[in-house]
């Protein structure tokens, strides 16, 4: 009985690979450039979703029967990547807001107030 279950699981691995690659192709269809750049752009566009998936992987690592080390490593890596991307996005937004404020102040100084 145990042998049949293992055979069934092993036969599902190619199907998983094919469906994952099809999903990558479909998600890349609307983006110009190479597939790796498209994938990184999509992952970095939603750091909260990446962080949630990392948390789910860490929780899954705690389940019995699931290999702990790979799931902890992947979950920790996804969480760290989400944190770094979120931090960079906030710094870039603050810098852009500062540049906009500086441009508005310099524009206000240049224009005389007319009565």
H helix or E strand, kind and range, residue 89: helix 68-110
- Encode pLDDT of 55-101 as tens digits: 999 999 998 888 899 999 999 999 999 999 999 989 988 888 877 77
Nearest CA to 79 out of 45, 54, 43 is that of: 54
User: Does residue 114 register a pLDDT over 60?
Assistant: no
**Domain ranges in the chain?**
46-115
Instruction: Provide the pLDDT for residue 109.
Output: 62
Q: Which residues contact 81 (CB under 8 A, 6 or more apart)?
A: 43, 47, 50, 54
pLDDT tens track for 8-29: 777 887 888 899 888 877 776 7
């Amino acid at each position: 009985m145990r042998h049949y279950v293992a055979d069934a699981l092993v036969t599902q691995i190619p199907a998983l690979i094919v469906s994952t690659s099809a999903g990558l192709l479909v998600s890349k269809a609307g983006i110009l450039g190479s597939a790796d750049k498209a994938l990184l752009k999509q992952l970095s566009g939603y750091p909260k979703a990446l962080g949630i998936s990392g948390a789910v992987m860490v929780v899954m690592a705690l389940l019995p029967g699931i290999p702990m080390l790979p799931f902890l490593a992947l979950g920790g890596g996804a969480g760290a990547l989400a944190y770094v991307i979120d931090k960079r996005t906030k710094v870039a937004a603050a810098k852009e807001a500062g540049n906009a404020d500086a441009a508005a102040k310099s524009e206000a100084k240049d224009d005389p107030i007319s009565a």
